[in-house]
Amino acid sequence: MILKTVALLALMAAIFVADTLTRYEIAVAVFYILAILAASALLPARTTRLLTALAVLLTLTSFALTRSGTYDTGLVNLAISLLAIGITAHLALKAVAARAAAERTQNRLFHIARATSLGEMAASIAHEVNQPLAAIATSASACQRWLDQMPPNTDRARQAARRMEDDAHRASEVIARIRAVTQAHKTAPQAVAPAHAIHETLALHAHELEHEQVRLLLDLPDNLPAVHADPILLQQVLGNLVGNALDALRLVPPSERTLRIAVHAGGNGFAEFTVEDSGAGIGPDETPQLFDPFWTTKDSGAGLGLAIARSIVTAHGGEIAAHPAPGRGAQLAFRLPVSKEASHD
Ligand SMILES: Nc1ncnc2c1ncn2[C@@H]1O[C@H](COP(=O)(O)OP(=O)(O)O)[C@@H](O)[C@H]1O
Ligand SMILES: [Mg+2]
């Protein structure tokens, strides 16, 4: 930072010398604009303000020291230079502040996205772990009953104990899976295998998919490249799209419910994801609004799912779009840059 400040000061000194030595008619002072623009892009706002004040001071000093040329023209040039410097500094600082505000909003949104994703995960862990726990409790009381018999039925008791063991393994697998995701998250963005992210997301919706009798089609080639993404945020995007697909599928009869998830390498440094459902579909006049925050057609919808998905995808350098699916339903497609390292899993 100090180096950049020194470089800009040197530039300003050069402008000062040129401005002082040349005639009044030559408005060298407008070149201070370059230094101010560079400062606003490279240095903190306070330094930019100081450099702007310095530019004004140097312009006035040069004017006072200049000896040659038409004084009146010099005066007009002085006014133009000062005005240009002032307006440039004002606009540049405003642009920087707007960028910072946008960044803060995005960070807040990501924080919310992560928190809701973790909250949803917690809810589904509770659900997934509760089932084996209930089964363990049932097997345990059965086991006791077999042992209490006279004579004890050790064969049946042993079977019950084995069921308890299997269920305990199931429960700890669920927890291990969640732990893997949350730990991976510490080092966000990283190389993530698309198939892994999709399976993890689907695991969180396994119960719903089965309950709603959704036919699931996966098109995940073996040699897919890893993508460069934050694993939790990628799961958040996929989870929002799968959640929307399930909502749309609920509006059609069970026999017509298909969810298709596909990924292929685009060959352009991106991996292309598509989440396609055979649900109620999107009207052509709705397509432009879909990604707007708070836009929803659902009674209990927040209208944030797609807005969050889009902000995550674009922050990763990708794009997302919605299309009517071939036949019936909706297709949500997004792309993420391929990672330069090998995936972690
Ligand atoms: N797969 C889909 N099929 C049909 N409509 C969809 C689909 N995905 C999103 N939409 C439409 O986009 C709207 C916004 O989606 P979203 O931002 O996730 O908010 P929410 O799900 O809370 O309504 C939905 O209300 C719905 O009308
Ligand atoms: Mg939604």
Residue 170 has a pLDDT of: 80
Whether the pLDDT of residue 344 is over 70: the answer is: no
Of the residues 205, 244, 294, which should be mutated to test ligand 1's pocket, given the most ligand atoms within 8 Å of the CB?
A: 244
pLDDT at 215 (0 to 100): 97
282 lines ligand 1 (CB under 6 A): yes
Average pLDDT over residues 66-72: 89
Banded pLDDT at 36 (limits 50, 70, 90):
very high
Q: Indicate whether residue 333 lines ligand 1 (CB < 6 A).
A: no
Ligand 1, residue 296: give the atom nearest the CA. Answer: 25
Highest averaged pLDDT of the listed ranges 179-183, 201-205, 239-243, 291-295: 239-243
> Could you tell me if the CB of 303 is within 6 A of ligand 1?
yes
pLDDT in tens, 175-209: 776 666 666 555 568 899 999 999 988 988 888 89
Is the Cβ–Cβ distance between 128 and 96 less than 8 Å? no
Domain ranges of the chain: 2-104, 111-185, 188-337
Check if 306 has its Cβ closer than 6 Å to any atom of ligand 1: yes
Average per-residue pLDDT in the chain?
A: 88
Predicted pLDDT at 180: 66
Q: What mean pLDDT do residues 46-61 have?
A: 94
The closest residue, in CA terms, to atom 9 on ligand 1 is 244
Measured in degrees and rounded to the nearest 5, phi and psi for residue 29 equal -60, -25
Residue matched to tokens 């669920």? 174
CA 317 to chain centre: 9
Query: What local confidence, expressed as pLDDT, does residue 192 receive?
Result: 93
Does residue 55 surpass a pLDDT of 70? yes
**Digit-coded pLDDT (tens) for 214-225:** 999 999 999 999
338 pLDDT more than 70: yes
Q: Is the pLDDT of residue 256 over 80?
A: yes
DSSP 295: -
pLDDT of residue 139: 93
Pocket test for ligand 1, best of 252, 296, 312 (most atoms within 8 A of CB): 296
Least confident segment among 24-33, 87-96, 165-174: 165-174
Ligand 1 atom closest to Cα of residue 301: 22
Give the Å distance between the CA of 35 and the centre of ligand 1.
48
First to last CA, the chain: 39
Q: Is the pLDDT of residue 68 over 80?
A: yes
Q: Given this model, what pLDDT does residue 124 score?
A: 66
Angstrom distance (rounded) from CA 24 to CA 41:
31
Q: Over the Cα atoms of the chain, what is R_g? A: 32
**pLDDT tier, 277 (very low <50, low <70, confident <90, very high otherwise):** very high
pLDDT-based confidence at 322, cuts 50/70/90? very high
> What pLDDT score does 286 carry?
83
Q: Which helix (H) or strand (E) holds 70?
A: none
> Can you tell me which atom of ligand 1 is nearest the CA of 290?
12
Other C-beta atoms closer than 10 Å to the C-beta of 179 total: 12
- CATH assignment of 111-185, among 1.10.3470, 1.10.287, 2.60.40, 3.30.750: 1.10.287
pLDDT in tens, 116-157: 766 766 776 677 788 789 999 999 999 999 999 999 999 999
Please give the CATH number for the structural domain made up of 188-337.
3.30.565.10
**Of the listed ranges 41-45, 113-117, 178-182, the one predicted with least confidence:** 178-182
301 touches ligand 1 (CB under 6 Å):
yes
Using a CB cutoff of 5 Å, list residues around ligand 2, an ion.
244, 305
In degrees and rounded to multiples of 5, residue 309 shows phi and psi of -60, -45
Atom of ligand 1 at shortest distance to CA of 329? 3
Task: Please tell me if the CB atom of residue 330 comes closer than 6 angstroms to any atom of ligand 1.
Answer: yes
What is the arithmetic mean of pLDDT over 87-104? 90
- From the CB of 254, is ligand 1 less than 6 Å away? no
Atom 19 (ligand 1) nearest CA: 303
Residue 344 is classified by DSSP as: -
pLDDT for residue 110 = 75
**Of all atoms in ligand 1, which is nearest to the CA of residue 303?**
19
Q: Please, which residues bridge with residue 273 across strands?
A: 263, 334
Whether 287 has a pLDDT exceeding 80, the answer reads: yes
Name the band, by pLDDT with cuts 50, 70 and 90, for residue 4: very high
Percent of the chain with pLDDT over 90: 59
CA of 113 to the centre of ligand 2 (A): 12
Q: What is the DSSP letter of 223?
A: T
The pLDDT, as a whole number, for residue 335 is 97
Query: So what's the pLDDT on residue 308?
Result: 84
What value does the mean pLDDT take over residues 251-269?
94
